[in-house]
Amino acid sequence: MPLTDLPLDQLRDYRPVLAEPEDFDAFWTGTLSTARAASDGPARYEPVQSSLLNTVDVCDVRFPGWGGQPVAAWLLLPRGAEGPLPAVVNYLGYGGGRGLYTEGLLFSAAGYAHLIVDSRGQGHDTPDPDPAVGTQYVRGFMTRGIDDHRAHYYRRLMTDCVRAVDALKEHPAVDPERVVVHGGSQGGGLALSTAGLLGDGVAAALVDVPFLCHFRRGAQTAAEGPYPEIAHYLGAHKRADPEAAFRTLSYFDGVHFAARATAPALFSVGLMDPICPPSTVFAAFNAYANDDKDIRVWEFGDHAGGRGSQAQEQLRWLGERGLGASRSLNGSRAHSLNAR
């Protein structure tokens, strides 16, 4: 893919001034308070008889998310490691669900408790029963509720992501002071929103090639992926009001969440990314409030960013901040799969 965005020296200084809703904080405080009040109890963990033998314990998880609705996840625990463990909450890319538990073994292999969170309405295991107000004009999720921020799809999904952290902190195998949020693309945007909403409630954020940042710029410049859904909607429907649409989306913009985040963060960006243009990533990175932040720039990286090399960077970076996993084996089950 060719370079299609700003030069790197301009990206490092790219700080667009974006209109932020005056009630942004009140909207999210009320949203999370309502979701927590709607919970019908703690997360449920059902042990899975896996083929991973003596390496990983697997649980099929249901935790209360938006409206108390059950959200699916996998919990992977390194077998025989002494708790409480540092943990990684993993959010997923656009259009995908939690998949099979064998598809995400890196963090448990490195000694972390690893929660892989399903995306409502995108995976097979978590439906999205709340219909959006108004019409969904374009296939996908960007215009679900585009007429009203209170009914937009990402209000529900971002709430689920915060509630995933709430749930995992209650598990007896997990150190609640060492919970890291992580994801790429849509998952990177969700890790960013969770870090902004929970502040010191997360220990660090790993934000790879994040989507859901600087929506107008994404709609104007992205050649592929979900951002063009916005452009398609605004271009195909003559009655559509761009300012109203972007006002709705401003409640879910990673740039605003970044300005509220207080945990250390490691970002990544691919300079040849046609899906999440580098300027949208740098808009969020440059707005990130904690000075303990860094970004790995992959000059010839596409939307996959640094691939496996980024994972190695993340493990090293976490270790430097005291968030590495020390896997101490004692030959016995050091934690219980059946959480309280």
pLDDT reported for residue 179: 98
pTM of the full structure? 0.94
CATH T-level fold of 8-319 = Rossmann fold (3.40.50)
What's residue 62's pLDDT?
98
Q: What is the pLDDT of residue 331?
A: 39
Domains in the chain: boundaries:
8-319
What element of type H or E holds 121? Answer: none
Alpha carbon distance 27, 31 (integer Å):
6
Mean pLDDT by 10 residues, the chain (340 residues): 87 97 98 95 94 89 97 96 93 96 95 98 91 67 94 97 98 97 98 98 98 98 96 86 96 98 98 97 98 97 95 97 73 43
First to last CA, the chain: 50
- Pairing mode, strands 85-91 and 113-117: parallel
Per-residue pLDDT of 266-302, as tens digits, reads 999 999 999 999 999 999 999 999 999 999 999 999 9
Q: Give, to the nearest 10 degrees, the angle between helix 153-169 and helix 186-198.
A: 60
- Could you give the residue numbers annotated as active site? 185, 273, 303
- The CA-based dihedral angle spanning residues 141, 145, 149, 150, taken in that order and rounded to the nearest 10 degrees: -110
pLDDT for 327 equals 52
Predicted local confidence at residue 132, as pLDDT: 62
Q: Tokens 């410049």 belong to which residue?
A: 221
CA gyration radius, the chain: 19
Nearest Cα residue to 101 out of 68, 80, 125? 125
